Structure 1
């Protein structure tokens, strides 16, 4: 009996073990591989890899490829059908693959599907927005809004980026932004104006980098915008030409062409534009007595007609010296002739708002600018993938000349006053850079480099009142800047965790010499700029990161020059030659999640800036017919804190509909006092403690309508924001565009309306106790209509292009 019980217990025990074995999960294994395009061997990012069981049509596992076309997916051991897919490519299938242990599928080549390429709604189109953890890349080619436009138009259509009515660029509400062109600082003297001269059609893509690593120069506390220009990549002779016209009067012609062989690649981009950018503004001011009672009123209205004729061209050659070495040289030339007539009408009223008289100031300005640049780049690659050495050089000269005749007359007098102003600026800039990248071990990479940036800017400003030189508004400013930098970085990836540590050292030598007053100022300082990035891959479709960097903002140009403009005789901007640099510590928490049709990217950021730049208004002591002359100057304020939350969505609900949106909510706090001695020798303390919260949003919709018509809509809103001396009010703007392919897809007709509701303005309220209370609206450019025609030869409309092999593709390329 006991033996029977023992046998029964054994049977039950083994039966239990067998039952557990049946429900115990199969062994987990990892399947890896790489997906490339068949003809060019270009990696395909975001290709979908799916694992299916023979008796179950639903996927049991899957993932997407990274920027290198690689995938690494965890599955249970078993027999699977494996499907690899990418839009407009033929599906690649592996049937009944027996996977017993971790293995690699090797390189998988996908072939383009000619039938799909002929269909408009599923053609091979590069993703408009490529969202990555360290940056967002916006491919300009599919953006209808910018056809026939300029770089400023491109930037103003990018989420997180704002371009105000004067052309100044800000990123996430922060105007301390560094703008690069092909990875190098722009050589123009007036950056805002230069961005209006480069045609949008010359741009391939824009990289938005909110928290740069140590490999970048430390300039720009708010982040970097890297504008990458087109270079020819396709074999043989091919190109694109674009003609555009519009209202108010504007027309242009631009094109890019290249010829590529195995030994060399010739490329060129040329563009000519003739534009009229009419604008208008008004400022209603109530001037105050010391007890804040009304002294008088001045209502000022302005009308501008800005005519510009500009040419932008470059020519370059890339030599393939060997299979591992290439040398690229390019010559860039920009020229602009402008005619700006600024008509100012000032209506004067007494304290009871009774009309007194009208003053009319007409500012007729002629401007000419010319930029010449030579750039060279040499790259040597070694046997190990990613191991390379590169040399870069950029040598440029720029000249800006502005002459204006200001005619001033008033209805209460017969006198007519004439002011002549001359503002001549010349700049020389030389840039040298060496970068070395060494991958070693598994998932490790070392980088090191040097950058030398040497520039000289000479500004000669002179004012003549009725033919007599005015010493109070005449000065020659000689500005010299020498910045030498060294950096090193180390990155490593261990399983799903990646780290990147960097340290940059910059030595700055700044000389500011005011020749008219013999005032010489030499600022020498050297600083370390650490950076650290941590990334964790939660799954194949989601990742989280935290990053830190230290940045600098050096004052330049208009911020330093005491005299640069006299368009208004009662509101004058005066630079501050004694400005110190501002330093920013930036911390960023990021998260990215991808679904089949939706990509979500969020960021929580905190910035602290010491000696931040703020604008302070004060009385100069001068008067025009009893009205005090107000001066606005930049100052170093003690501390600025900025914190915000941003999220970006990229959603494709259908093949014919694409949406991307961006919302940025931020809080800005300043702490500090501005102390100065006024014209009566009285010490004035202005308190700049201020806390302001604001937000901005932008949404873009692109729909393919019947008859192969593309329709794109863009809408943005910037909410009100307070400052220490007033506030800016909310601004809404919208753009609209349509396009239609013609001539068997070799041509495209595009029509767009910029600022549909004519509402894009800068609206300000300013209050200076005991001095003035004002309300102003400024519209730099009124609503515009434009029509553009694009013609392509030997070039598909939406080609898949080989990545450029130069220094600009290094940024953010550490994958482990």
Structure 2
């Protein structure tokens, strides 16, 4: 498109010069003006061409191009002309034999869309769902039928290399140490897992998967980072998209994106509302052991969850184009949610001979409220030289989560009814400042440096009232402060077919973890240096290889640190560890990409070494609940972890109506370390956690255009079994289906999708603690979901062709040198 505009402009300019050179001096010069718009929307058409051909002298041609308001001005000589107004994908309009003897305004000329040409343009302009690049993968959300009516968690679970487990935890290549950014900034949510379930999928434009980030990115995230880019209108005039949906189990949602753009400014807003029920369930069958591993008794536990949530997510922002090179952007985001969770736990107790003893029923009635407000501002200054720019960002947010739970406890072997009341209130504030400067040096070289300050504070107030009496052993106020300042610099250059990028990042961390109820204060300060290096070699235009290295960090946060988290189960309790230290990762990645006409192949061989890695350990705390030992799960720094893996991603389009995308990841994981604790008999117990395991993951996505232009998409996923230090997780297969059909002359789309067709998406695990417990568990966070949605677009084509952006419009970050 851009090439067409440039060529048209040059041709018209040359013709104008030629015609003027042939004019006789005595001929009068005149000016022809007018305005070109779209017939349907009445919006101005920028870059439409206007051509004047002299009917008596065909070599005498004048012409011009419309501006952003559709206006044109053509200077020429008096005479009789055929006037042609054209724009790509629109039917041309011709005014024949127009006599022009003086300055003339042709008025408003409306062009009508050419359906045939428009369809051809859409086919050529349509992006693949996954764009493969050497240093990252870009996932275009709008083309995925699976996520209609879903949330960010659903989006991430459809991305190559990314997995989301049944509890919403995100992993990249099987590694949960992932940094999640939203519009290039860290999420300000207290609970990132819950926040990802609140943002509607329709608010997302694309997701960037960066497995080995350079020094310009935060050092956080040993497994890589995910950058979620939200929608922001780009098209001129007023336009928008509205989406409504219903689902079973209950999933009512409504969202919309509105954009109004003129020469000096761009206003945009995205609004979303949802009312959902996410029912889930789990079972845990446990056999409790004597010291010689013989059976002492049994406990079979089933759990049913009904999670009701009503949420609103909205933003409003504007770009102010101060001049052709300077843009000021401001955005206000607001999220609110209220939820009710009924957690019904049924425990059946059996003796050593598996004879039924009694039943205990524990019901947790949980009420939660969450509010989040964020204001972000950005200045982008572009200089004359291509790629030379300065950006300044600021972000200020406040977040509150309030959670109240009433837990009733009844049993068939007693008339006593237990009642616990837990309160967990969290308040978080976060201020972020960032400056980035990019300066190209000569041909193929670039220098970059920047600063980032990330300052956050979180207060978690947790308390328990047991049968009307406060329980001080479960009451605490945890104050967490994290102040991180960073400086980075990088230099990239190209020599023949080699591209190099070297970078260094320095981060100063000041962490306060204070337990106010127990007056336990911890301050951890550390300075760290994070180098990075990237090398690319281009075998040809379609083939490249790269090798990269970076050093990363993972800081413990949230529930990992809080020693008081919940009492939904009285025998299986999670406790955070306020003394956790950060984990450091050295990552190396060897990549190769090859493009053919219909096929793109991207392969990667990677290796990570993580020191002080986080591991979850289970141990009895010495207490008994009705002769059942209480098992504590807690994170610890467990020595060193090694991870080596191989991955490939394929994009294949055998026909215009069929697109295939597949991803396969195989990895080997080895942990060296040991854990010790003192049991109820005051004996020191040492557990050896040295183990090694392999696992694999694969996903296949097929998108087919059926007759009558019905799109059909299928996603099939398999997570292989994996050995763990105290047991293993079993393999799980799942499948999603989606169908869509464009209606109302492509202004509307109806979609139907089924998530987890076989209702098989679960976490299945086996745990064995010698002398304590042997258990089997299944956990399904959400049952099979069926969604129907309707999308309506006005003044926006389904696959909107991009027109030339203004000079002050901010662009996304650049690609790896040489890609």
Please, what TM-score do these two structures have when normalized by structure 2? 0.86
Matched position secondary structure for 1:809 = coil
Once the two structures are TM-superposed, the CA of residue 678 in structure 1 deviates from its matched residue by 2.9
Once the two structures are TM-superposed, the CA of residue 471 in structure 1 deviates from its matched residue by 1.2
User: Which position in structure 2 is the counterpart of 1:609?
Assistant: 610
User: Which position in structure 2 is the counterpart of 1:626?
Assistant: 627
Residue 469 of structure 2 corresponds to residue 468 of structure 1: yes
Q: Distance in 1 between matches of 2:367 and 2:180?
A: 27
CA 1:684–1:754 in structure 2 vs 1: closer, same or farther (change >3 Å)? same
User: Which position in structure 1 is the counterpart of 2:2?
Assistant: 36
Q: Distance in 2 between matches of 1:787 and 1:666?
A: 37
Once the two structures are TM-superposed, the CA of residue 204 in structure 1 deviates from its matched residue by 0.3
Farther off after superposition, 397-406 or 123-132 = 123-132
1:215-254 Cα offsets, whole Å, 9 max, x none, are 0010000000000000000000000000000101110100
Matched position secondary structure for 2:708 = helix
User: Which position in structure 2 is the counterpart of 1:73?
Assistant: none
Q: Distance in 2 between matches of 1:237 and 1:681?
A: 73
Matched position secondary structure for 2:612 = strand
Please, what TM-score do these two structures have when normalized by structure 1? 0.86
Written as runs of structure 1 = structure 2, the 5 A alignment for 1:568-583 is 568-583=569-584
Q: Distance in 1 between matches of 2:521 and 2:229?
A: 38
CA 1:120–1:376 in structure 2 vs 1: closer, same or farther (change >3 Å)? closer
1:397-444 Cα offsets, whole Å, 9 max, x none, are 000001000000000000000000000000000000000000011100
Do the aligned residues in 1 keep the contact of 2:420 with 2:464 (CA within 8 Å)? yes
Do the aligned residues in 1 keep the contact of 2:135 with 2:816 (CA within 8 Å)? no
Matched position secondary structure for 1:415 = strand
Residue 365 of structure 2 corresponds to residue 377 of structure 1: no
User: Which position in structure 2 is the counterpart of 1:125?
Assistant: 126
User: Which position in structure 2 is the counterpart of 1:66?
Assistant: none
User: Which position in structure 2 is the counterpart of 1:408?
Assistant: 409
User: Which position in structure 2 is the counterpart of 1:182?
Assistant: 183
Q: Distance in 2 between matches of 1:296 and 1:699?
A: 44
Matched position secondary structure for 2:802 = coil
Once the two structures are TM-superposed, the CA of residue 120 in structure 1 deviates from its matched residue by 10
Matched position secondary structure for 2:698 = strand
Once the two structures are TM-superposed, the CA of residue 129 in structure 1 deviates from its matched residue by 1.3
Q: Distance in 2 between matches of 1:210 and 1:808?
A: 21
Matched position secondary structure for 2:778 = strand
User: Which position in structure 2 is the counterpart of 1:155?
Assistant: 156
CA 1:148–1:592 in structure 2 vs 1: closer, same or farther (change >3 Å)? same
Residue 813 of structure 2 corresponds to residue 810 of structure 1: yes
Residue 199 of structure 2 corresponds to residue 230 of structure 1: no
Q: Distance in 1 between matches of 2:316 and 2:134?
A: 34
Do the aligned residues in 1 keep the contact of 2:122 with 2:799 (CA within 8 Å)? no
CA 1:811–1:578 in structure 2 vs 1: closer, same or farther (change >3 Å)? farther
Written as runs of structure 1 = structure 2, the 5 A alignment for 1:671-682 is 671-682=672-683
Once the two structures are TM-superposed, the CA of residue 113 in structure 1 deviates from its matched residue by 8.7
CA 1:217–1:197 in structure 2 vs 1: closer, same or farther (change >3 Å)? same
Q: Distance in 1 between matches of 2:576 and 2:6?
A: 54
Computed over aligned residues only, the root mean square deviation of the Cα atoms, in angstroms, reads 1.8
Once the two structures are TM-superposed, the CA of residue 564 in structure 1 deviates from its matched residue by 1.0
CA 1:199–1:720 in structure 2 vs 1: closer, same or farther (change >3 Å)? same
Q: Distance in 2 between matches of 1:811 and 1:412?
A: 67
Q: Distance in 2 between matches of 1:698 and 1:577?
A: 37
Q: Distance in 1 between matches of 2:137 and 2:176?
A: 18
Once the two structures are TM-superposed, the CA of residue 127 in structure 1 deviates from its matched residue by 2.1
Matched position secondary structure for 2:283 = strand
Q: Distance in 1 between matches of 2:625 and 2:438?
A: 62
Once the two structures are TM-superposed, the CA of residue 37 in structure 1 deviates from its matched residue by 5.0
Matched position secondary structure for 1:234 = coil
| Structure 2, gaps ≥5 residues long | 8-87, 91-112
Farther off after superposition, 113-122 or 197-206 = 113-122
Q: Distance in 1 between matches of 2:716 and 2:511?
A: 42
Matched position secondary structure for 2:330 = strand
Once the two structures are TM-superposed, the CA of residue 119 in structure 1 deviates from its matched residue by 5.8
1:246-289 Cα offsets, whole Å, 9 max, x none, are 10111010000000001000000000000000001000000001
User: Which position in structure 1 is the counterpart of 2:261?
Assistant: 260
CA 1:574–1:707 in structure 2 vs 1: closer, same or farther (change >3 Å)? same
Once the two structures are TM-superposed, the CA of residue 774 in structure 1 deviates from its matched residue by 0.2
Q: Distance in 2 between matches of 1:394 and 1:40?
A: 39
Matched position secondary structure for 1:233 = coil
Do the aligned residues in 2 keep the contact of 1:443 with 1:815 (CA within 8 Å)? no
CA 1:181–1:135 in structure 2 vs 1: closer, same or farther (change >3 Å)? same
Q: Distance in 2 between matches of 1:291 and 1:563?
A: 33
Do the aligned residues in 2 keep the contact of 1:304 with 1:343 (CA within 8 Å)? yes
Residue 318 of structure 2 corresponds to residue 317 of structure 1: yes
Q: Distance in 2 between matches of 1:811 and 1:353?
A: 64
| Structure 1, gaps ≥5 residues long | 1-34, 42-87, 91-111
Q: Distance in 1 between matches of 2:558 and 2:3?
A: 48
